[in-house]
Amino acid sequence: MTGGADIERVRTIADLRRCIAEWRAAGLSIGLVPTMGALHEGHLALVEAAVGGCDRTIVTLFVNPAQFGPNEDFAVYPRDEDRDAGLVTRAGADLLFAPNVDEVYPPDHATQVHVSGLGDILEGEHRPGFFTGVATVVSKLLLQSLPDRAYFGEKDYQQLCVIRRLTRDLDIPVSIAGVKTVREEDGLALSSRNAYLTTAERAVAPVLHGTIAQVAEQVGRGEDPRDQAQWAIDQLRRAGFGDVDYVTVRNAETLQEAVDASLPARVLAAAWLGKARLIDNVAV
Ligand code: PAF
């Protein structure tokens, strides 16, 4: 273990469990905030929710190779553990779990968690293997720490749905809390990958949120979801986005096409702007 004025950092599952056992023996409740580092205000909102809701907060920092495709940004994903440790210390977290890849995936690791259906559509279709990587690592993190609650951002709305489903399906006794998306003043959802935007692209990026917010409003007024989604795709292209992977209105829980207007729905979108692939979603 290493520490100092900064938060205590642990690297092994055994050390993590030792700390947790002490807290449990003292009757304390535990919140878990899984992250891949490169922390921003969106992550800190998760930490604040955990600190407010639980006696002790663990932040995990692990850039999970299993959720990156072969042509994705694993090698260049921003990593600065000391900076992230400072941020979560100030946000009031109690422990940073930052394991090495071998600790999480021993060389003969052979088990994966796949959430069929929900994990195969939308992001799952455009990023094959992504949700299996997420579901596997999140299952492991939940089982390693068995917190009372684990916190995830609504920014990655499908990820939140997948995690709720695996937790239920695998009977993992942890409650999953979704935390509202944190946005820049112009509406752009905070994301570690916004760093890939050029100044010109950054100026266009908020059109994504503005457009899907209009879709949500129109669908809420009874307009046809498919027509609205097509309108949004045209808007994004006109604004300067490249490929629009999807804009779609879905049932907020199953993420199937929203056919029953009386059930909660969500507008979800993913589109390319230069080298950055932006995703966002809003409630109808
Ligand atoms: O949302 C993320 O940062 C990651 O997908 C998560 C949940 C930490 C799993 O690696």
Q: Which residues are catalytic?
A: 43
Round to whole Å and give the CA distance between 17 and 13: 6
Mean pLDDT score of the chain, rounded to an integer? 96
Round to whole Å and give the CA distance between 257 and 249: 7
Round to whole Å and give the CA distance between 191 and 181: 10
Question: Which tens digit of pLDDT belongs to each residue from 27-53?
Answer: 999 999 999 999 999 999 999 999 999
Question: Which tens digit of pLDDT belongs to each residue from 9-31?
Answer: 999 999 999 999 999 999 999 99
- Which H helix or E strand runs over 65? none
The C-alpha R_g of the chain, in whole angstroms, comes to 19
Pocket flag, ligand 1, residue 154 (CB < 6 Å): no
Structural domains in the chain, sorted by start:
8-179 (3.40.50.620), 192-283 (3.30.1300.10)
Pocket flag, ligand 1, residue 60 (CB < 6 Å): no
Atom of ligand 1 nearest to the CA of 153: 1
Residues forming beta bridges with residue 249, ordered by sequence position: 267
Pocket flag, ligand 1, residue 156 (CB < 6 Å): yes
**Band of residue 92 on the pLDDT scale cut at 50, 70, 90:** very high
Q: Is the pLDDT of residue 2 over 50?
A: no
Instruction: Name the residue with tokens 């891949």.
Output: 36
Atom of ligand 1 nearest to the CA of 141: 9
Average pLDDT of span 62-75 = 94
**Band of residue 5 on the pLDDT scale cut at 50, 70, 90:** low
> Could you give phi then psi for residue 278, rounded to 5 degrees?
-100, 140
Pocket flag, ligand 1, residue 134 (CB < 6 Å): yes
- Closest-CA residue, ligand 1 atom 8, reads 35
CA of 35 to the centre of ligand 1 (A): 5
Is the pTM above the cut of 0.85? Answer: yes
Q: Is the pLDDT of residue 101 over 90?
A: yes
Alpha carbons within 13 angstroms on the beta-carbon side of residue 83 total 8
> Could you give phi then psi for residue 101, rounded to 5 degrees?
-60, -40
- Residues 6 or more apart from 247 whose CB is under 8 A from it? 211, 212, 215, 229, 232, 233, 236, 267, 268, 269, 271
- Closest-CA residue, ligand 1 atom 3, reads 35
Query: What is the DSSP code string of 159-193?
Result: HHHHHHHHHHHTT---EEEEEPPPB-TTSPBP-GG
Q: Is the pLDDT of residue 177 over 90?
A: yes
**Ligand 1 mutation pick, 32, 33, 35, 174, max ligand atoms within 8 A of CB:** 35
Round to whole Å and give the CA distance between 283 and 281: 7
Atom of ligand 1 nearest to the CA of 138: 9
CA of 200 to the centre of ligand 1 (A): 28
Question: Which tens digit of pLDDT belongs to each residue from 201-235?
Answer: 999 999 999 999 999 999 999 999 999 999 999 99
> Could you give phi then psi for residue 189, rounded to 5 degrees?
-70, 135
